Chains A and B, each alone.
Chain A
Amino acid sequence: MLRYSLQKILSLIPVLAGISLIAFLLGVVSPGDPAEIALSRGGMSEATREQVSAMRREMGLDLPLPVQYARWLGNALKGDLGKSFSTGEPVGQALARRLPVTLRLAAYAMLLTCFFGILFGILSAAYKDRTVDLCIRGAASVILSLPGFWLAILMILIFAENLRWLPTSGVGGAKSMLMPAVTLSVATMATAARLTRSALLTEMGKQYCLAANARGIGKYRLVVRNALPNAIVPVVTLLGNYFGGILGGSVIAETIFALPGIGSYAVQAIYMRDYPALQGYVLITGLIYVIITLVIDILSLVLNPKIRLGGGA
């Protein structure tokens, strides 16, 4: 198991190198001269030719690309991601300030998805073709076909405007995270419930569940204790990918609910053509995604004793 984990970690190094290269190239291939953009501060002033070439030397843009990449990567490893074109604030600092907001949002969304997604999946499978199952399946279909932003606006209307239970925007306690987290999680909750249901039903049709049933056990033991440990593996993979996806998907929720996370930072950076900020965003989300994939790989390993004990593939 340790060897497998080490192998996984080692195999991540080229992936990380690839992500950093793409993030770096983003700054190179983007239109416009970074020196000029940095000097013009979003079109406020026009720089002279001498000023631009001096700036290019200062920023190291006159060096060959591989050297630039090595420098950039070296700085990035030290936590220096350059300065934002638009605000002049170091990108690393801005991301460090905003990342906790997004991670908190992601954690709330993840919690909701795991709990309700798996719970509804279990209920749906345990009461297959009964009223509970039909309701859950119906609700899942409806939710899957609703766009997230529409749901967000609807929720603001109901819970913030009319009922005044929840704040419309901003960062506060758990209350302020509820609507954004729900917006982010409902679709995946429905997918997770469906996947849990179908995986459970597949497992319950297998011989070992028949044999377990012949031991005179109740429904809870059959579904949760026998079928679930086998059915959960694909669900964990789905949820892991989703957690990585939140970091990209949080853009909508952060924009609608005015949360100062990295998603809204990226949106601003795109508006302002703030390439250092975008590079930093790409690098950090890539890094987080890769780490989560690693955690999920190891987690599904732990869940599957066959691999854990080296007994099989």
Chain B
Amino acid sequence: MLDAEIHDIVLKKLSVHFAAFSGLIRAVDGVDAVFSKGHITGILGESGCGKSVLGLGILGLLPSYARVGGEILYGDTNMLKADPRWLRIFRGRGIGLIPQNPSESLNSARRIGAHLDEAMLNLSGSGRERKARAEALLRSFGFEEPSRIMRAYPFELSGGMQQRVLCAIGVACSPQWVLADEPTKGLDFDLRGQVCDTLLSLRQHGVGGMLVITHDLALAENVCDTVAIMYGGEILETGRETIRNPRHPYTKDFLEALPKNGMRPIPGMPPEIGDKTAGCKYAPRCKYRKNCCDYEKPPSVETEGSTVRCFLYA
């Protein structure tokens, strides 16, 4: 079963494809990555780049019709071939999810207490112990009257409160990892600040590693130790300095498109669904394009803990 030691999450040639009428959709396309324990890793990318699908893959919650290839390793276990019982324990205790869209992620027919209780079922302990633990957990996330919150229904809470409740649920089993999927999506400025603080505070809950899937650059900059840039189902660049010192042409263009950096839009469109480019996915929009970019996948170049997939650095 799940051992007590925290491991890195290692993706090897991970691909998630969906067969659609329009052709094969490569939502995640041959991703190699190591998400190290003890770090907060941000997975940054535009809508539709495959980052949420990647997250679901790590949780083992992809729909049954998804075609998954490659490996997701946690310690010695390949999660894609793991025993369903192992996966059940792994969810919650190995990796806790903080889902996107707080208002849609809580069951409107059930009380908050029932959500929290359910999240702790994999732990040993009586119902009363779970209740005490749930109240302590809510208090640690800034709720002053946890027993009142436990009795409340999700729609009786504000968006920020729902977000904090979901964080509490996500760490209820003291998971080794936390996966936060778009934690700031659709939240206003004040709430985003709260979410940043909450995510950083998760370390105090004994969380050993965190993945933050987002398109919010500010969040990535403030919270994450390492950032991985995703585009068209591939990870183009990872590193500690990615946002301050971008290397891949896409990351550079992406940052220049920000309002504070001159708001220069990237010409062209992101790769279409079902795109079968043999070479670099960004080549059609790239300023530094060479001939080989169209035909050949650029190699992954590693320097000082950062990697970039581009011929410029090969």
Contacts and interface: CB of A to CB of B under 8 A. Distances in A.
Interface of A: 206-218, 221, 225-226, 229-230, 303-306, 309, 311-312
Given A216-B92, A218-B88, A211 B108 contact: no
Interface of B: 56, 59, 61, 88-93, 96-97, 99-101, 104-110, 114-115, 118-119, 121-122, 153, 155-156, 166, 169, 172-173
Contact of A305 (B109, B118, B119, B166): B109
Closest 3 CB pairs of A and B: A216-B92, A214-B97, A229-B109
A274 B100 CA distance: 66
B100 to A, nearest CB: 8
Interface of chain A, main secondary structure: helix
A214 B99 contact: yes
A212 B121 CA distance: 12
Contacts of B108: 208, 230, 305-306
A303 B122 CA distance: 28
5 contacts: A206-B104, A210-B99, A216-B122, A221-B121, A230-B109
Contacts of A215: 91-92, 97, 118-119, 121, 169, 172-173
Nearest to B59: A214
Contacts of B121: 215-217, 221
Contact of A212 (B90, B104, B118, B173): B118
Contacts of B105: 207-208, 210-211
Given A221-B118, A229-B109, A207 B93 contact: no
Given A230-B108, A304-B109, A214 B96 contact: yes
A226 B107 contact: yes
B93 A216 contact: yes
Given A217-B121, A226-B107, A309-B153, 6 more contacts: A207-B99, A214-B96, A216-B88, A216-B173, A217-B88, A311-B153
Contacts of A211: 97, 99, 105-106, 166, 169
Contacts of A226: 107, 110
Which residue, B93, B109, B114, B155, has most C-beta atoms of chain A within 10 A?
B109
A311 B155 contact: yes
Nearest to A222: B118
Contacts of B119: 215
Nearest to A231: B109
Contact of B153 (A208, A214, A306): A306
Given A212-B118, A215-B92, A215-B169, A306 B107 contact: no
A170 B155 CA distance: 53
B156 A216 contact: no
A303 B173 CA distance: 30
Nearest to A216: B92
Contacts of B97: 211, 214-215
A208 B89 contact: no
